[in-house]
Amino acid sequence: MGRVIIPEIEAILDKEFKVLDHGYVILVDYMGGDESIIQAARVSYGKGTKKLSDDRGLIRYLMRHDHTTPFEMVELKFHCKLPIFVAREWIRHRTANVNEYSLRYSEPEGDFYIPEAGQIGFQSKDNKQGRSLQEVPEELKAKVQRYMKEISEEAFKKYQELNQAGIAREMARMLLPVNLYTRWYWKIDLHNLFHFLRLRIDPRAQYEIRVYAEVMAEITKKIAPLAYEAFEDYKLSSITLSKLEVEALDTVLEGENVDEVCENVGFRKGRELNEFKEKLEILLKKEKKLVS
Amino acid sequence: MGRVIIPEIEAILDKEFKVLDHGYVILVDYMGGDESIIQAARVSYGKGTKKLSDDRGLIRYLMRHDHTTPFEMVELKFHCKLPIFVAREWIRHRTANVNEYSLRYSEPEGDFYIPEAGQIGFQSKDNKQGRSLQEVPEELKAKVQRYMKEISEEAFKKYQELNQAGIAREMARMLLPVNLYTRWYWKIDLHNLFHFLRLRIDPRAQYEIRVYAEVMAEITKKIAPLAYEAFEDYKLSSITLSKLEVEALDTVLEGENVDEVCENVGFRKGRELNEFKEKLEILLKKEKKLVS
Amino acid sequence: MGRVIIPEIEAILDKEFKVLDHGYVILVDYMGGDESIIQAARVSYGKGTKKLSDDRGLIRYLMRHDHTTPFEMVELKFHCKLPIFVAREWIRHRTANVNEYSLRYSEPEGDFYIPEAGQIGFQSKDNKQGRSLQEVPEELKAKVQRYMKEISEEAFKKYQELNQAGIAREMARMLLPVNLYTRWYWKIDLHNLFHFLRLRIDPRAQYEIRVYAEVMAEITKKIAPLAYEAFEDYKLSSITLSKLEVEALDTVLEGENVDEVCENVGFRKGRELNEFKEKLEILLKKEKKLVS
Amino acid sequence: MGRVIIPEIEAILDKEFKVLDHGYVILVDYMGGDESIIQAARVSYGKGTKKLSDDRGLIRYLMRHDHTTPFEMVELKFHCKLPIFVAREWIRHRTANVNEYSLRYSEPEGDFYIPEAGQIGFQSKDNKQGRSLQEVPEELKAKVQRYMKEISEEAFKKYQELNQAGIAREMARMLLPVNLYTRWYWKIDLHNLFHFLRLRIDPRAQYEIRVYAEVMAEITKKIAPLAYEAFEDYKLSSITLSKLEVEALDTVLEGENVDEVCENVGFRKGRELNEFKEKLEILLKKEKKLVS
């Protein structure tokens, strides 16, 4: 079959896609595409795949049934510039290869992330981990930005002074804040990249990592369009109903009040019920009469 | 907090649970249980978890939102005896620690798996990988068993003869069939065990590995009952609707014929449609009129 | 065989071992010990191990020949408190399970690492990543400490102010420096722990991570004394001569000058030669005449 | 920098390299080469690498000090045909991506490995896992081959008969011997490939897997010649002396008898002593007087 060359991708190799104020994502190299998934699947499922007449059908089948290994046959390598606090979340995805800029060997390059006013938000009340973007007064937004700049500049100035004085880099760096930008090469296979994207494109992911995931998703779409479509259909935009929710749905469709229902099937009134209602809204949008 | 000791489990440590004709599963050791999941989650989510008033609610929340790392804090170690062809599927779960009986170092112990008549089936027509248990004539069943016995005995006899003659074990073993039993220690964390169980308890999994998974599921249920309940609710018995299926559901609920629907939303007539219909049957059991 | 209980270890479970100014290492739980390594090895090597009459001999054999899987059968779980910059190096060891305190969910606990004067050093000249502990004037040491304290206090004050004003935690935390302490549960098997220890006990590792590794090494020694002894003998304190160095040694033993030798065999004058000389000093300590 | 294209490798992409009687190794795709290792290392070690004037020096430094992550930036994908018993050893290397021909989906292709007469050996006496190639009488060799052929043919005939009769493939395959050939795609990064090669090129590895490793080593040498040279020098052909052996060497160089020495330093008379003597022979070849 030979190696997979995707002209649309060759055109963007080594191209810098800007993210946040000083960050970027660059696709440095890739190996394979939709064809490699098909190739690998056909060795596994052999004659069994003959009747799946087309590639799209086979890729959808693999995605639907969590036959994940063929997706591992595609590999992508990125060069990213990102704030340390983003890198700290990102690195938790262990099934990837990483080479990061080291502050033991080198001085920091000196860029710090300062959020745009539009991204500054209050602590979300119903989402313990997130922010709400409403209502922050302009002056408070300005203060957030000013504080970040002050600490960044002060810390960098002190770093440089200690560095000039000959203090070890591994030591001087201890006072640098986590909005400092770092850089790395990050290489991952498509299956694990999909897992990363699913968690990091999610609205509950922190904005500052989500924007990286979104750029990478666009690139991935071009490398393996059929796989990405299947990923979007079955993973990103799918709805999962738990066993208890399936039972509850049944009663709801029979006309019973949804708030009464949850206790009977055994789930909790607060968060679980709210999440179930959100699903119902999507599932039964034309059947609102049943739900309300 | 100290270590987690579960009396119900202490009682079955080192106990042999029979599987198939000569196989077994033994729980050799374990580390942690529901409490360890809670403990780990509380360090991650800190004050954020205070309002999740009880442990069950927290564990359900973790499972529902794929916060998988707290489940990795529980570890189980099994000693299993299983046919080589089962071991070959099993070993594909890479995130585990394994020590297997080696035929380079030792002679085979000499047990071979011969399926019970009740498990002998024809190739399934709609499931390329499975068997259908209907209608195999008794004499064909007997032939299957006889053939397996003949090859097993003949191969073992020849092995022993070559072994007696001093031929290297790593060489003589080459003629042994894959129904030979092997043994191993297999150690895995709870998150990865759940993943294994989800794939191997599934009706599409081969019977001969499913029976092992079922025994291990029972043991797991005792080690971490809350986690297992959440796993069953959100993973094992949940139903996932793809983006296209959500669209299709909408039209079906409006009364449109399900066979017409699928083309409009963009999925294929064969397998995909059938799987969608199966889901509809479960979801709308009381609403059959809409579907039929 | 039943589970392994090591009285000496039971006594230190949940005990806090202090590290640095505010950090600690706690052994929370463990599974297995030397016996579990033996147990797993005997299933792999079966009758082949009979002649290795004792456990110590078998464990040494496993370590010497990189039969690493039996060591994976032992599992350890730690609770650690450590500065973020240490956590960033530590997390690079991917084969472990981690649950870390999250600054998206919770406020920082407010401890910052300030190095002791005795640990403050200049950038090492011959080791690009390290520090030299000689000669830093007292007043420069004091300045390093003062700068760290100033940035820590200033950043924490600003964090608290933004937090009071209701700014999202995931946002306010961006200005915190990497000497802030975090906490995590960290679970790993013995083979991968040895790998971690080998890299982090090394004199080239940064002091602030080395002190954690040293405490964990002491604990490990008690959990699996025979394995630790073998690890120390074959990995930690062993000397590896490259193919080129073996050739060079030959000429050196014949009396040739070591500086002349390296060019002939093909390695470089700078670092490589110096490292070779260091090895020679250890290997031929009583044969100095040959070397000098 | 753009993607790495290695003309010598492009010429052998998709080329079948024969191994054993029916097996092969095909390089299907690759990503990166020596340049990618350098690229990744320079981001990690930044200005720290400036003084390592050339690429060879830097790659040797990385290999010598186990800075393994830059080697993970190169990826290779192979298509292999290999006997099941070889696949069973091979798959133990977990850090790789695999898609294997499935006997649940497809019928076996029908090739079985029959060893050449020259490879048939007796059980080795001093190596519990290996074979000795001396002295096997011709007629015994012929018998080994005949037995393998008989079982292979008989099993395959019975398989086909059951298959014709409609018995499920996942069931009929249970009687096939482990010398049946299977096929797979196997993708791995260079660091983990080196680990695989180190263990499988070793004379103690079984011949039937070693021949695959040797072909792959030749291919790897072309993809990353500098990295391979460093791997050979520092890993493949290096000699490691344990702490106890370093002590023993000292006394040996002073003229003491090697057999007396080992007891003093604390290692065992049998295997450990013999392995030490083998190392001495290599290290001190020109200094035999000292040893004997």
Please determine, for residue C248, whether its predicted confidence score (pLDDT) is greater than 60: yes
Pick from C64, C129, C236, C246 the residue to mutate for testing the D interface (most D CBs within 10 Å).
C246
Report the percentage of chain B scoring pLDDT > 90: 73
Within 8 A of D165 by CB-CB distance, chain B residues are 140, 143
Sequence-separated (6 or more) residues with CB below 8 Å from residue B186: B77, B78, B79, B80, B90, B96, B97, B98
pLDDT grade for D46, boundaries at 50, 70 and 90: low
ipTM field: 0.93
Out of A35-49, B54-68, C71-85, D152-166, which region has the weakest mean confidence (pLDDT)? A35-49
Residue D99 has pLDDT above 90, yes or no: yes
> pLDDT digits over D183-192, tens only?
999 999 999 9
* Inter-chain CB proximity D243 and C237 less than 8 Å: yes
Decide if pLDDT at B25 tops 90.
yes
CA distance D13 to chain B (A): 27
Q: What is the pLDDT of residue A279?
A: 92
Mean residue pLDDT of chain A comes to 91
With cut-offs at 50, 70 and 90, classify the pLDDT of residue C287: very low
pLDDT at D143 over 80: yes
- Res D194 pLDDT > 90: yes
**B133-167 pLDDT, tens digit each:** 778 999 999 999 999 999 999 999 999 999 999 99
Q: Which of A2, A45, A185 sits opposite D73 (nearest CB)?
A: A185
Mean pLDDT over each residue of chain D, to the nearest integer = 91
Q: Among partner residues B239, B243, B244, which is closest to A241 by beta-carbon distance?
A: B239
The verdict on a CB contact (< 8 Å) between A43 and D184 is: yes
Active site residue D200: yes
Query: How would CATH label the architecture of A7-103+179-236?
Result: 2-Layer Sandwich (3.30)
Which one-letter amino acid corresponds to residue B13?
L
Using the predicted structure, report yes or no on whether residue C52 has a pLDDT greater than 60: no
Q: How far is A45 from chain B (nearest CA, A)?
A: 9
Q: Do B60 and A267 touch (CB under 8 A)?
A: yes
DSSP 3-state of D188? strand
A10 φ, ψ to 5°? -55, -35
- Identify the closest residue of chain B to C1 by CA–CA distance: B14
Q: Which of B75, B109, B74 is nearest to B184 (CA)?
A: B109
Q: State the sign of the Cα–Cα–Cα–Cα dihedral A44, A50, A56, A57.
A: negative
Q: Do B283 and A199 touch (CB under 8 A)?
A: no
Comparing A219-223, A282-286, C39-43, C170-174, the range with the smallest average pLDDT is A282-286
C13 CA: distance to closest CA in chain D (Å): 31
Confidence of residue A53 (pLDDT cuts 50, 70, 90): low
Q: Is the pLDDT of residue C272 over 90?
A: no
Sign, CA dihedral C274-C277-C283-C286, equals negative
Nearest to D97 among A2, A41, A69 (CB): A69
**pLDDT tens for each residue of A121-142:** 999 887 777 888 778 999 999 9
CB-closest option in C3, C31, C73 to B99:
C73
Contacting B with CB below 8 Å, chain C residues are 1-4, 13-14, 28-32, 36, 39-41, 43-49, 69-70, 72-73, 75, 77, 79, 97-102, 105-107, 183-185, 187, 189
Question: Torsions phi, psi of B193, nearest 5?
Answer: -65, -40
Alpha-carbon gap: B249 to the closest alpha carbon of chain A (Å): 7
Residue where the block lists tokens 């000499």 = B110
Record: contact D60-C241, CB cut-off 8 A:
no
Measured in angstroms, the CA of C52 and the nearest CA of chain D are apart by 9
**Mean pLDDT computed over every residue of chain C:** 91
Query: D177 has which bridge partners?
Result: B177
| Chain B contacts to C (CB-CB under 8 A) | 1-4, 13-14, 28-32, 36, 39-41, 43-49, 69-70, 72-73, 75, 77, 79, 97-102, 105-107, 183-185, 187, 189
Copy the structure tokens of residue B16: 């042999």
The model's pLDDT over B78-113, given as tens digits with 9 standing for 90+, comes to: 999 999 999 999 999 999 999 999 999 999 999 999
Q: What is the mean pLDDT of residues C248-273?
A: 82
- pLDDT tens, position by position, B234-248: 999 999 999 999 999
Instruction: Report which of C225, C231, C178 is spatially closest to residue C201, judged by C-alpha positions.
Output: C231
> Above 60 in pLDDT, residue A288?
no
pLDDT in tens, D216-275: 999 999 999 999 999 999 999 999 999 999 999 888 888 888 888 777 787 777 888 889
pLDDT for the residue numbered B268: 73
Is pLDDT above 80 for C50? Answer: no
Q: Is the pLDDT of residue D128 over 90?
A: no
Whether residue D257 contacts residue D41, with contact meaning beta carbons closer than 8 Å, is answered with no
pLDDT of residue B102: 94
Distance CA(B175)–CA(B112), nearest Å, equals: 13
pLDDT at D288 over 60: no
How far is A248 from A264, CA to CA, in rounded Å? 8
Average pLDDT over residues C177-189: 98
Q: When comparing pLDDT for A269 and B146, which is higher? A: B146
Q: According to the model, what pLDDT value does residue C49 have?
A: 54
User: pTM value?
Assistant: 0.95
Distance of alpha carbon D241 from alpha carbon D253, whole angstroms: 15
Res A231 pLDDT > 80: yes
How does residue D15 score in pLDDT terms, banded at 50, 70 and 90? very high
Q: Which entry of D200, D204, D210, D271 is annotated as an active-site residue?
A: D200
The angle, 0 to 180 degrees and rounded to 10, between the axes of the packed helices D271-283 and C55-64 is 30
Instruction: Note the pLDDT tens digit of each residue in A177-223.
Output: 999 999 999 999 999 999 999 999 999 999 999 999 999 999 999 99
- Quick check: C113 and A176 in contact, CB under 8 A? no
Which chain D residues have a beta carbon less than 8 Å from that of B83? 174
| Chain B residues in contact with A64 (beta carbon < 8 A) | 242, 272, 275
Residue in D95, D168, D176 closest to B131 by CB: D168
Q: Tell me the H-state helices in chain C.
A: 7-10, 34-45, 55-64, 84-90, 138-164, 169-172, 190-201, 207-223, 225-231, 243-253, 258-265, 271-283, 288-291
Can you read off the two tokens belonging to residue B166?
A: 């001093």
SS3 call for C26: strand
- Residue C89 · residue C209 · CB < 8 Å: yes
What is the 3 state secondary structure string of chain B? CCCCCCHHHHCCCCCEEEECCCEEEEEEEEECCHHHHHHHHHHHHHHHHCCCCCHHHHHHHHHHCCCCHHHHHCEEEEEEEEEHHHHHHHCCCCCCEEEECCCCCCCCCCCECCCCHHHCCEECCCCCCCEECCCCCHHHHHHHHHHHHHHHHHHHHHHHHHHHCCECHHHHHHHCECCEEEEEEEEEEHHHHHHHHHHHCCCCCCHHHHHHHHHHHHHHHHHCHHHHHHHHHHHHCCEEECHHHHHHHHHHHCCCCHHHHHHHHCCCCCHHHHHHHHHHHHHCHHHHHHHC
What residue in D sits closest to A74 (Cα-Cα)? D187
